[in-house]
Amino acid sequence: MGSHRRKAPSGFDRGAGAVAVSLLSAAAAVLGAAGASAAPSAPAAPADDTRAEVDRLHTEAEQATEAYNKAEERTGALRGQVRRTQDRIARQQERVNELREALGSLAGAQYRSGGIDPSVALLFSDDPEDYLDKAAVLDRISEQQAGQLDELQDALRELGQERSEGAGKLVELEKSRKAVAAHKKTVETKLTEARRLLNSLTEADRAAYDRASRASRTDLPDLSGAVPASGRAGAAVAAAQSAVGKPYVWGANGPSGFDCSGLTQWSYAQAGVAIPRTSQGQRYAGRQVPLSQAQPGDLVTYRSDASHVGMYAGNGQVIHAPYPGAPVRYDPVGMMPIASVTRV
């Protein structure tokens, strides 16, 4: 009976087997490494990063816009102050000139009538009584001259103060003008960079971003049952609703385009109410109330620095001018962190 025992492997077979095992082990190691590297979540797509960066730039541009609006508002106020100061200086200078002219006339009259010693004049006078009458007049002229001299000194002192104040206002005005220019440059730089990034997107990604930017409510949402806080608040809401669909234009306060605080300021102006130009100023334009008590017409400011503002329209909606490329629209009141709710 033959033996069924397996033959011992030759040296060649043993070497081939070792190589095979080694190759399998190496393949397993490579596959394992590949599996391990694939385990973490995939990184964000470049388009997502670009969109996030564009949103950040728009936020920073809006903050710079509100700083620009504040500086521009201050510049306007200073221009008015400088103009009024210059008017006062002109009037005061005219008064000084009149006083000087009057004093000159009195001095001339006194010189012509009283140029010699009074006792000598009396001795040679043909009519002593007439002389005494003239002397009394001269005394009164001297008293009047002294009074007008005091008045002239006061007027000159006031004129100097007005000129000093005017010079200070002009210096402050120049600083404010420079601040306006600096903030304007910042806004334009941010928006230029945002446009550059948007233009770097593929056509499909750009279209998706544009759709998201315009994915808003420009139609009237259900605001039934929303009661304005006052008649003027109701008028302001109606004005804001009339602006829905108009473009965001930084630094603009209507009527063809708006930035965020420009929209709310313009809306209240249509109701006959003046409120500050900036979102930070509008935050304190009235009484602050809890969000739970918000009524149409209330101003809602956002972010910790109150750099964005919208108008509460009712039923959890605000009307606001979001950012460049997005029109005035309705959005949920909780679209970003709320800083305050202000009832004007």
Task: Report pLDDT for 223.
Answer: 78
Report how far residue 296's alpha carbon sits from residue 311's, in angstroms, rounded to the nearest whole number.
7
183 and 263 assigned to the same domain: no
Q: Are 307 and 66 in contact (CB under 8 A)?
A: yes
Q: Check whether 136 has a pLDDT greater than 90.
A: no
- Per-residue pLDDT of 163-197, as tens digits, reads 888 899 899 899 988 988 998 899 889 989 988 99
Residue 100 lies in a domain: yes
Residue 8 lies in a domain: no
Q: Check whether 98 has a pLDDT greater than 90.
A: no
**Residues whose CB is less than 8 angstroms from the CB of residue 232 and which lie 6 or more positions away in sequence, other chains included:** 268, 271, 272, 273, 297, 344
285 and 179 assigned to the same domain: no
Strand pairing partners for 319? 311, 330
Q: How many domains does the chain have?
A: 2
Task: Report pLDDT for 156.
Answer: 85
- Per-residue pLDDT of 250-287, as tens digits, reads 999 999 999 999 999 999 999 999 999 999 999 999 99
pTM (two decimals)? 0.62
134 and 268 assigned to the same domain: no
Instruction: Select the more confidently predicted residue: 319 or 44.
Output: 319
Task: Report pLDDT for 15.
Answer: 40
Task: Report pLDDT for 235.
Answer: 97
Residue 209 lies in a domain: no
Report how far residue 231's alpha carbon sits from residue 203's, in angstroms, rounded to the nearest whole number.
47
Report how far residue 240's alpha carbon sits from residue 249's, in angstroms, rounded to the nearest whole number.
15
Tokens 């995939």 correspond to 42
- Residue 4 falls in the annotated catalytic set: no
130 and 233 assigned to the same domain: no
Residue 20 lies in a domain: no
User: Which pair of tokens denotes residue 208?
Assistant: 């998706």
- Residue 58 falls in the annotated catalytic set: no
329 and 267 assigned to the same domain: yes
Residue 10 lies in a domain: no
295 and 338 assigned to the same domain: yes
State mean pLDDT over 206-235. 77
Look over the chain and give the mean of its residue pLDDT values, rounded to a whole number: 78
3-state class percentages of the chain: helix first, strand second, coil last, to nearest 5: 65, 10, 30
**Other CB atoms within 10 Å distance of the CB of residue 166:** 18
Highest mean pLDDT among 13-27, 176-190, 255-269, 319-333: 255-269
Task: Report pLDDT for 209.
Answer: 76
Report how far residue 319's alpha carbon sits from residue 313's, in angstroms, rounded to the nearest whole number.
6
61 and 123 assigned to the same domain: yes
DSSP states along 168-206: HHHHHHHHHHHHHHHHHHHHHHHHHHHHHHHHHS-HHHH
Report how far residue 344's alpha carbon sits from residue 337's, in angstroms, rounded to the nearest whole number.
21
Q: Residue 64 sits in a domain of what CATH number?
A: 1.10.287
Report how far residue 2's alpha carbon sits from residue 284's, in angstroms, rounded to the nearest whole number.
108
Q: Residue 276 sits in a domain of what CATH number?
A: 3.90.1720.10
Q: Which domain holds residue 319?
A: 223-343
Q: Are 135 and 119 in contact (CB under 8 A)?
A: no
Active-site residue among 4, 58, 183, 308? Answer: 308
Task: Report pLDDT for 141.
Answer: 53
196 and 228 assigned to the same domain: no
Among 20-24, 108-112, 257-261, 286-290, whose mean pLDDT is lowest? 20-24
State mean pLDDT over 119-126. 48
193 and 53 assigned to the same domain: yes
Active-site residue among 4, 58, 183, 260? Answer: 260
